[in-house]
Homo-oligomer: A and B are copies of this chain.
Amino acid sequence: MMVSRRAAALTAHAPAIAAAHLRVERDPYDPQRNPGGYLNLGTAENRLVWDLLADKVTAARNIEPRDVRYGPLHGSPQLRAATSRLLSKTWHAKVDPDHLVVVSGASAALDIVASVLCDPGEAIVVAAPYYSALDVLLTGRSGARLIPAPLSGATGFSLDARAVERAIDQARKDGVTVRAVAITSPCNPTGNVHSLAALRDVLAVAERHDLDVIADEIYANSVFGDEPFVSVLDPRLRGGNRVHVIWGFAKDFGLSGLKVGVLHTEHPEVLEAATALAYFAPVSTDTQALLTNLLADHEWVDGFLKENRARLADSYRNAAACLAEQGIPHVRPGAGFTVWTDLSRWLGEGTENQLWHRVLDEARVNLIPGTAFGSPAPGWFRLCHTTDPGHVHEALRRVGGLS
């Protein structure tokens, strides 16, 4: 064996979806130049807001010598202060900059919190369907394992503390040490915005079982539906210091390439350990200066977030109309970039994996199959709509035309 066991396990992981993504990106659809090309509705990326960002991102930079020198590796005081102001509004909770650990991506923040909480072999129960990359992020370096808590399709896969508790109980019966409960809030892939009551119940279950809570709230400012966003840090919930939250600039600011994520924790030991681990995944001080400057313009931030929500709502409405046109059911999302789409009528006698290949090879559309999200029921796919509306229309026309 040339590489460590851990490295070998990591590289063995899920190459099929990544390979599909590469294939799709090499032959992209264009209505004029390449009408038979692939349509990529797989990547959860917000392509609706570049015009709002361009001036800020391309402008000359107010960089000082200190901005290219070593800084605190868990984020500059300036960026943590600016981010705490934003998140205080988002979370309706007072956020102390010293409780924030800034690292190179929400992905890194997820890895860090899992590595801090779990020794190898310990488990994190996660409400399913869940963000597909959690499989790698929460386990790949930490050595932890994920145990899905399947939510019910009958209620639109809404968050249900009883499902979470059942998974905890079952894991313990199986002799597994459960260490934490993880949720995405709002939910990726479904776009469900969790109610105060549902969150309260989940926190209560975690507390009853002496577990930490990991909440990925990266879409917190991308809520466009009727249900208002409630953070797990909402003061009404009194979650305590074993509730750890992840946020980042990828989704709410459409700056996915910048790979800037934040972990918020009030637990002193978790904070200290996460700060130590940030050493291995720091953010460029150059990009930190850009984001500090962006957040300093409060009026711009408010306008941007409002306009982004309006555009997300429009984008979803277009997708919903296209889905209706093809008679394809979906879960009505209140947030995010994606629609959880029920293609089970095309399953027939086959598997979801076979259907995925038909969608990819025949319709030439890249959707991510539910399997990747730990979906409790076969035939569901995640469709990302935050791109050219014409592409979404063409993609669903093709999918609807499958035999």
Contacts and interface: CB of A to CB of B under 8 A. Distances in A.
Contact of A69 (B2, B6, B68, B257): B257
B63 A57 contact: yes
Contacts of A57: 61, 63, 68, 286
A307 to B, nearest CB: 17
Contacts of A107: 279-280
A199 B71 CA distance: 34
Contact of A269 (B3, B108, B259, B286): B3
A90 to B, nearest CB: 21
Interface string A57-74: 111111101111111010
A68 B257 contact: yes
Specify how many copies of this chain sit in the oligomer. 2
Contacts of A301: none
Highest count of chain B CB atoms <10 Å: which of A45, A47, A276:
A276
Interface in A94-125: 104-105, 107-108, 111, 115-119, 122
A282 B283 CA distance: 9
Contacts of A286: 57, 257-258, 284, 286-287, 290
Contact of A104 (B47, B68, B118, B284): B284
A259 B72 CA distance: 12
A234 B23 CA distance: 37
Interface stretch (A7-15, A157-165, A313-321, A360-368): A7-15
A70 B260 CA distance: 12
A277 interface: yes
B255 A68 contact: yes
A71 B119 CA distance: 31
A136 interface: yes
Contact of A280 (B66, B108, B256): B108
Given A4-B116, A70-B43, A115-B7, A284 B269 contact: no
Given A11-B272, A61-B58, A254 B4 contact: no
A62 B68 contact: no
A300 interface: no
Contact of A7 (B5, B276, B279): B276
Contacts of A141: 115, 141, 277, 280
A273 interface: yes
A277 B10 contact: yes
Given A3-B270, A7-B273, A141-B277, 7 more contacts: A4-B118, A58-B61, A68-B257, A70-B256, A141-B280, A259-B285, A280-B281
Across the A-B interface, the 4 shortest Cβ-Cβ residue pairs: A257-B285, A7-B273, A284-B287, A281-B281
Interface of A: 2-8, 10-11, 13, 43, 45, 47, 50, 53-54, 57-63, 65-71, 73, 104-105, 107-108, 111, 115-119, 122, 136-137, 140-142, 254-260, 267, 269-270, 272-273, 276-277, 279-287, 290
